[in-house]
Amino acid sequence: MTSEGRPYARFRRALAGPSIAVIRSAAAELERIDLEDGLAISLAFLELEPDTFPRAATRWVARLALERGLTIAESQLALAALSTLDGPGARAGAEALIELCAAHRLTRAETILGGWLQRRGLAD
């Protein structure tokens, strides 16, 4: 273990930072990235490397659908909600994702998306 702490702690710190390269490096140290952390990474791409966001978002929805058994309609909703995050419907998209994630027991998704909304000044 390095002086920077365990790999997951470094990953969590990297998510709060301003560099996609640091996030990628920290994520590479992990054995597995859970769905909530995958969502956080996708949102980081939206902020820091927007050209990569569509691919990251699509990959996250595919994982969500497979791992949580989403219906086709739920998968479409997740993808549509993510696609609104870079425009005027960002808050509605985030709220739809919060509800969908809650229905599939992704408990940290509300915190992740709520923090994302706050950073953009879109929270209540």
Task: List, in sequence order, every residue forming a beta bridge with 2; answer none if it has no partner.
Answer: 5
Domain of 46, in residue numbers: 35-119
Domain identity same for 48 and 100: yes
Domain identity same for 28 and 42: no
Domain identity same for 53 and 21: no
Q: How many domains does the chain have?
A: 2
Confidence class for position 16, pLDDT limits 50, 70, 90: confident
Long-range contacts of 7-12 (CB under 8 A, 24+ apart): 11/37
Rg of the chain taking only CA atoms, in angstroms: 14
- Answer for the pair 33, 27: CB distance below 8 angstroms, yes or no: yes
The Cα 122–Cα 52 span in angstroms is 23
Domain identity same for 16 and 51: no
Which pLDDT score is estimated for 5? 62
Domain identity same for 54 and 113: yes
Domain identity same for 46 and 104: yes
Model confidence pLDDT, tens digit, residues 80-92: 999 999 999 999 9
Indicate whether 81 belongs to any domain.
yes
Indicate whether 83 belongs to any domain.
yes
Question: pTM for this one?
Answer: 0.90
Domain identity same for 46 and 90: yes
Indicate whether 124 belongs to any domain.
no
Model confidence pLDDT, tens digit, residues 91-112: 999 999 999 999 999 999 999 9
